[in-house]
Chains A and B, each alone.
Chain A
Amino acid sequence: MTGTATIDTGVLWTVIAALAVGSFALRFVFIGLVGNRPMPAWLLRHLRYTAVAILPAMVAPLVVWPAATGGQPDAARLAAAATTMAVGLWTKNVLAAILSGAGMLWALQWLLG
């Protein structure tokens, strides 16, 4: 967070209201309105890969260009990401992956000062 001036109260509440309505609408459109009507096979085939596509797409820039280092690639964060992924693939255990990733990050930050 780099901003200095205070966020305008009107803007803030407009954003909160719009996001509250918008986020619910995005979640409701299929499960609420489409309901039990059948969806085409090609759509379902794509939807199976939603999570494994969107989540990595969201994470990749954060790993390579972390905001905390001003967008410069950072050895500790790269190693932490690689460790998390490797342990996750190996153990299939979310918690073990998180703990080893965080451990790697803290250890390297301490070592590299």
Chain B
Amino acid sequence: MPASTAKSFFWKAVRDSIPFVFVAGPFGLLFGVLATEANLDLLATMVFTTTVFAGAAQFTALQALNDHMPTLIVIISALAVNLRVAMYSAALTPWLGNAPFWQRALAAYFTVDQSYALSVAQYETRPDMSIPERMAYFFGTVALIAPLWYLCTLAGALLGARIPESWALDFALPIAFLAMIAPMLRTPAHVAAALVAIVTALLAAGLPYNLGLLVAGLAGMMAGARVEAAAERRAGVA
């Protein structure tokens, strides 16, 4: 009964995504608040959040717009922050590549940190899942989070600047991302990737146009791949 197992994978994904309610909620709220403080009207804020649908890129663009950077620089730096979703898309392709075209197009829109991280973790644990089951799981990861993201942005835009500064909402992003990273550090290769990325990011922070992020990300990925290859060689010899 493939349909019923697909349905159960959908609901498993919804349950697995519940912790991210506490990420996407405050995050969406924060975007709404900051967009309003930057004098974006309600329409612009909501079109922004529903069409771009990428928190970190939205925050980057908002900050750059507020700093009155040239339009092209605003676009390039926000897309640079978002380059990682292209890598997520590539990482999901071996698992979802055989699905119908329209499903892949829809999945592309919903490819974000949470859906990618949850789905890949699930597919790696259960490599025997069928394509419809994988798709059901993928869409389950955003069934709760995406509407919540839109609603919280709206709430943030309506609340505006009434959220007290003492809540330190600016740090919601770092805490959320750190909490997502920690459980992913399963092997020495993952730890090496993260450490190299952190050191490179701090050293390369002075590079213009957010290039430091890209350099650090690539350095981390190369470190992880190197350590993994070395571990495989050792296992092969032993």
Q: How many A-B residue pairs have CB under 8 A?
A: 306
| A15 CB contacts on chain B under 8 angstroms | 61, 65, 71, 74-75, 78
Residue of A nearest to B67 (CB): A3
Q: Which interface class (under 10, 10 to 19, 20 to 34, 35 or more) fits B?
A: 35 or more
Residue in A32, A60, A98 whose CB lies within 8 Å of B179: A98
Q: Are the C-beta atoms of B91 and A47 separated by less than 8 Å? A: yes
User: Contacts of A112 on B, CB cut-off 8 Å?
Assistant: none
- Contact, CB under 8 Å: B75 / A19: yes
What band does the interface of chain A fall in when counting residues whose beta carbon is under 8 Å from B? Answer: 35 or more
B66-97 near A? 1/0 per residue, CB < 8 Å: 11100100110011011111111111111011
Q: What residues of B have a CB within 8 angstroms of the CB of A51 in the complex?
A: 84, 88, 113, 116-117, 180-181, 184
Asked whether A50 is an interface residue with its Cβ less than 8 Å from the other chain, the reply is yes
Look across to chain A and name the residue whose beta carbon is closest to the beta carbon of B205: A61
Collect the chain A residues with CB atoms within 8 Å of residue B180's CB.
51, 55, 94
| 16 A-B residue pairings within 8 Å (CB atoms) | A12-B44, A27-B109, A29-B89, A31-B97, A49-B224, A52-B181, A60-B202, A60-B216, A61-B205, A61-B212, A63-B174, A80-B171, A85-B181, A92-B182, A94-B183, A105-B171
Q: Which A residues lie at the B interface, using CB under 8 A?
A: 1-3, 5-7, 11-16, 18-20, 22-24, 26-32, 34-37, 39, 42-68, 76-77, 80-81, 84-85, 87-89, 92-95, 97-99, 101-102, 105-106, 109
